[in-house]
Amino acid sequence: MKIGLVGYQGSGKSTLFEWITGETADPSQAFSAQTAMAAVPEPRVEPLCEIYQPKKITLASLEIVDTPGLSRDHSGSAQKLALIREAGCLVIVVADFGGNDAKDDISNFDADLLIADLDIISGRIERLREQIKKPRPDRDELQKELEVLEPMYAALEGGKALRELELNPDQEKMVRSFQLLTLKPRLILVNSGDEAVDQSQYENSIPEGADLLALNIGLEQELDQMDASERDEFISEMGIERSDRDHLIRKIMHVSEQMLFFTAGEKEVRTWMIRKGGTAVEAAGNIHTDLAQGFIRAETMNIDDLVRLGSEREVKAENLLRREPREYVIQDGDIITIQHN
Ligand SMILES: Nc1nc2c(ncn2[C@@H]2O[C@H](COP(=O)(O)OP(=O)(O)OP(=O)(O)O)[C@@H](O)[C@H]2O)c(=O)[nH]1
Ligand SMILES: [Mg+2]
């Protein structure tokens, strides 16, 4: 899944990108999007590997997209925001250093996203109204679309993100191709200039439906570059509490409503991503489209059972290996083997 890093100029997006992906942002690419992968940490992979001794370990990753910052006079905003249209989740980086007021910027940036969606929807509504005036075979469909878009327009105009509307699946399908920004889950990341970060001061500024995390991106990056003893000394001297990389990645997973499941064998132990509430056949499709097409069942066990009992054979003997149908909802800790033809 793509995670779009957005925000105003100089808020710390590229520093964040470098910290969580370990890649260097290329300054010559500063006007376009840069992409790198960030593996999702999962401590339960280790006990799983002790059991299977696999040849290969593969962790699911998020695709992190760094974008050029928006300017406060809105020049070029639409072009820059177009770079994150495909993202499944937005991380909005807001500076609270160098004279920037994070609380103002949180609401200003939210307004920028609302305006971007408003532009798209009002353009479409105008066009639909024109088209409906004339007799044409798809008139009913166009009328239906208009009836979905008009309340969305009203919501945006009232300062409400479209995520708050709770569209039904039909409506969602109808507007999917517009890749609207305020339909995406969003995490506001306050980049604090302080060494000891107090998150509570921002909590009243969180827009409805968004999540917030405050940390010092530059400092966290520096801490990760120190060796362990140096780091421990520094942390205890400064009396700071860390909000480390793993914590942030888990938070992004939570906000974007994604979870992990496992596949395991002697060849490979691997984690995979699936949306929360995703089914066995969707899990199969995430592994390979062929597995979804030929899906018969998902042999499923829970990782806690496997680790406790020590082997797949014991799990089977205890009747804890389940055979699940395509509509089974994947649970946290599921290890699955897809049977297919
Ligand atoms: N004081 C302070 N400065 C920071 C922090 N994080 C980043 N900076 C500085 O802010 C400047 C901008 O950081 P970048 O990461 O390049 O910001 P950006 O959001 O990618 O900027 P654009 O791509 O131009 O929009 C750099 O000079 C960083 O060194 C921080 O936590 N505290
Ligand atoms: Mg940058």
**Cβ of residue 285 lying under 6 Å from some atom of ligand 1:** no
Phi, psi of 59 (to 5 degrees): -100, 140
The structure's pTM equals 0.92
Cβ count within 10 A of residue 93: 27
Helix, strand, coil in percent for the chain, rounding step 5: 45, 25, 30
CATH 3.10.20.30 positions along the chain are: 277-340
**Cβ of residue 10 lying under 6 Å from some atom of ligand 1:** yes
**Cβ of residue 80 lying under 6 Å from some atom of ligand 1:** no
Question: HSE on the CB side for 9, CA within 13 Å?
Answer: 10
Contact 193, 96 (CB under 8 A): yes
CA 251–ligand 2 middle distance (angstroms):
22
CATH 1.10.150.300 positions along the chain are: 1-29+62-258
CA 260–ligand 1 middle distance (angstroms):
32
Contact 192, 96 (CB under 8 A): yes
- According to DSSP, residue 279 is labeled B
Ligand 1 atom closest to Cα of residue 15: 15
Percent of the chain with pLDDT over 90: 78
Contact 69, 104 (CB under 8 A): no
Ligand nearest to the CA of 13: 1
Question: 277-340 — its CATH code?
Answer: 3.10.20.30
pLDDT, tens digit (0-9, with 9 covering 90-100), for 72-106: 888 888 889 999 999 999 999 999 998 899 999 99
Q: How confident is the model at residue 276 (pLDDT cuts 50, 70, 90)?
A: very high
**Cβ of residue 13 lying under 6 Å from some atom of ligand 1:** yes
Question: Greater confidence, 7 or 73?
Answer: 7
pLDDT, tens digit (0-9, with 9 covering 90-100), for 312-328: 999 999 999 999 999 99
d(CA 276, CA 287): 16
Question: 1-29+62-258 — its CATH code?
Answer: 1.10.150.300
CA 202–ligand 1 middle distance (angstroms):
20
Q: Shortest CA distance to 272 belongs to which of 264, 263, 281, 280?
A: 263
